[in-house]
Amino acid sequence: MTNDVADPDSARRRRGGDATDPRTPSNATLTIARYEAERLVVPSVAAAVALSLFGSLYVWIGPQVTAGVDIEALTEALPPALRALFGLESLGSVAGLLASEFYTLGWIVGLAAYVAYVAAGRVAGGVATDRLDATLSAPTSRASVLVGTFLALLVPITVVNLVVPLALYGVSVAVGDALSLIRLFALHALSVPYLLVWGAVGLFLGVVVDGGRTAGRVALGTVFATWIVEAVVTGSDYEWLGALAPARYLDPTAVLVRGEYALDSVAVLLGMTTLFLLAAIALFARRDV
């Protein structure tokens, strides 16, 4: 009792640590998240600008390209797998064109691949360069490293999902064919759980695959492969396989064209995120870094 009174810091450490101590797990997680997030600000802004320009091009010239074309006949002539792959529907409208092409390529594949690539590369690359070894030599848990890295992914996810819908809406108003702002932001809000899944998958691959670039490539391939498989098995005897693909739970056409919001899909995506994140933490705890 006397020693505790004389040294309150010692007593506090025995009770579990000081909540303000930067070495505690919660503060270590936030410190790592802040460090990783700062490195993602510039790439996030660049991605937001690039995607805004890409999407604005669809809004600006898309209706001119499809004018005078029998879109329905053209769509029906395509193979079912290709229609499922791009969610082709109402290509004659700006919303339909964006949903089936821009959001399929830009979000379902492109942005998801970027998030997965960054997550995988940060973990596997840190192991390969001994950067994580230096981090873990301090009183920092491995779980804090992974969770902090995962939280940092909210920077590109948030920046892109705030900037792009505003840009697309502004351009659509300028050309006289305004998009539904509510549906636009609903689509981007629903895409957040989808992107979080790929962030968690990327962390998992970063733990199990050696080498930052190799893990990043595997992550890219995984995003593309699951997108292809989900489309190919749709309507077949193996359609159940598509339930394993995150792409099944985000339908840009349903949201942007029909105004349908599948909140049950959000629950599935959050469950997938939790599963892969916990698996990554469990495996990382056993890995020799």
Residues of the chain with pLDDT under 70: 1-26, 62-92, 125-140, 287-289
Closest CA to 149 of 205, 97, 100, 105: 205
SS3 category, 267: helix
* pLDDT on residue 85: 54
- CA-based torsion, 81, 86, 89, 92: positive or negative: negative
Q: What is the pLDDT of residue 89?
A: 56
Q: List C-alpha distances in Å: 155 to 33, 35, 218.
A: 10, 12, 23
pLDDT at 197: 97
First to last CA, the chain: 40
Position 240 scores a pLDDT of 85
Task: Give the tokens for residue 15.
Answer: 């009770």
- pLDDT of 238: 81
Q: What percent of the chain has pLDDT over 70?
A: 74
CB proximity list for 172: less than 8 A, separation 6 or greater? 59, 94, 178, 179
Query: Six-digit token pair at 243?
Result: 């339930």
**pLDDT of amino acid 138:** 56
Please compute Rg for the chain using Cα positions: 22
DSSP 69: S
Local structure of 52: helix, strand or coil: helix
Q: Residues 6 or more apart from 272 whose CB is under 8 A from it? A: 197, 200, 246
Identify residue 67 by its one-letter amino acid code. A
Residue located via tokens 């909210």: 154
One-letter amino acid of 110: G
Taking the CA atoms of 244, 247, 250 and 254 in sequence, report the sign of the dihedral they define: negative
Domain boundaries, the chain: 40-286
